[in-house]
Structure 1
Amino acid sequence: MSLLESLNQDMKQALKSKEKEKLSVIRMVKASLQNEAFKLGKDDLSEEEELSVLSRELKQRKDSLQEFSDAGREDLAEKQVKEIDIIQTYMPAQLSEDELDSIVKETIEEVGATSKKEMGKVMSAVMLKVKGKTDGSLVNQLVQKHLS
């Protein structure tokens, strides 16, 4: 089942069960997907493009969560946490730190990186492999650890 079909099905379920927050988040994600398709001039997005949109939506909410927490707005921070949880249900299974660590080591060997100067090459290669399956900041930390 495609992401859009899954969102439509969950939207109907949220309407029936009167889950306003879930319905709102699903509508926002659906709108983002449709906007991206329009921007690219396509009818349907590829799985990778859908994943990219989901990742962007998730990152926006995580950034907002941080801002609200820093500002002491726990009510808004709580709302962001709920939205993050809903969006994460549509994301692929996340990699464990051990799995990610082995991918980082493997990629460093493939690229032939030996110093932190080559961190950009390693980061871009790793992120292509793990797109949507982990957080970029964790990848950054692991790459730095292995290149130092």
Structure 2
Amino acid sequence: MTTLKARLKDDLTTAMKARDELRSSTLRLTLTAVAKEEVAGTAARELSDDEVLKVIAKEAKKRREAAEAFDKGGRAESAARELAEGEILDAYLPKQLTDDELAAIVASAVEEARAAGAEGPRAMGAVMKIVNPKVAGLADGGRVAAAVKKLLAG
């Protein structure tokens, strides 16, 4: 068992003993998503810590999007719960890059792409290929794409 998956299970046990309903239900759903990912495909397998991190990031993103939808629908209580669940999951994710750190990485990638001959808005794909491996798990894809568009347009 990976260390991150074991940590999730241990934290679930602790939350259940403390009768922390929010944390235990969030961790249960996350562990279910991990298990689902393990049996997806042609053969069952154990996920690595990086793969478990991707599942947790996907679950946290779902929570943020659901909170946004609940907010727009006027269901503040449901939105607050989704945000709280997202915060629990964020504790398992690496610290996100600040806007300045992201801008610096994107700027160097734009320079690298331009040196390779990519110009204008069509350089988006080339720049994203350079940036994505550097920021994997450290920044949301939407934030990265917005930063790249901003620099290419400017």
Scaled by the length of structure 2, the TM-score of the pair is 0.88
Could you tell me how far apart the structure 1 residues matched to 2:123 and 2:50 are?
26
Find the partner of 1:107 among 106, 109, 122.
109
Q: In angstroms, what is the RMSD of aligned CA positions? A: 1.6
The Cα shift of 1:55 comes to: 1.7
- Name 1:6's counterpart in structure 2: 7
Contact 2:63-2:86 at 8 Å conserved across structures:
yes
Could you tell me how far apart the structure 2 residues matched to 1:29 and 1:89 are?
13
For 1:52, the aligned partner's letter is K
- Name 1:28's counterpart in structure 2: 29
The Cα shift of 1:114 comes to: 2.4
The Cα shift of 1:142 comes to: 1.3
Structure 1: 4+ residue segments shifted above 3 A: none
For 2:147, the aligned partner's letter is L
| Structure with greater Cα Rg | 2
Q: Partner of 1:72: helix, strand, or coil?
A: coil
Could you tell me how far apart the structure 1 residues matched to 2:103 and 2:24 are?
36
- Post-superposition Cα deviations, 1:47-66, rounded to whole Å, max 9, x if no partner, equal 33212211211111111111
Could you tell me how far apart the structure 2 residues matched to 1:109 and 1:34 are?
41
| Residues 3 and 84 of structure 1: CA distance in aligned 2, closer, same or farther (over 3 Å) | same
Find the partner of 2:89 among 87, 92, 112.
87
The Cα shift of 1:42 comes to: 4.1
- Name 1:57's counterpart in structure 2: 59
Scaled by the length of structure 1, the TM-score of the pair is 0.91
| Residues 97 and 24 of structure 1: CA distance in aligned 2, closer, same or farther (over 3 Å) | same
Q: Tell me which moved more, 108-117 or 83-92.
A: 108-117
| Residues 140 and 5 of structure 1: CA distance in aligned 2, closer, same or farther (over 3 Å) | same
For 1:133, the aligned partner's letter is L
Could you tell me how far apart the structure 2 residues matched to 1:68 and 1:120 are?
33
Q: Partner of 1:107: helix, strand, or coil?
A: helix
For 1:104, the aligned partner's letter is V
Aligned residues: 148
Could you tell me how far apart the structure 1 residues matched to 2:60 and 2:133 are?
18
Contact 2:106-2:147 at 8 Å conserved across structures:
yes
For 1:147, the aligned partner's letter is L
Q: Tell me which moved more, 50-59 or 26-35.
A: 50-59
Contact 2:12-2:27 at 8 Å conserved across structures:
yes
Could you tell me how far apart the structure 2 residues matched to 1:7 and 1:111 are?
40
| Residues 124 and 53 of structure 1: CA distance in aligned 2, closer, same or farther (over 3 Å) | farther
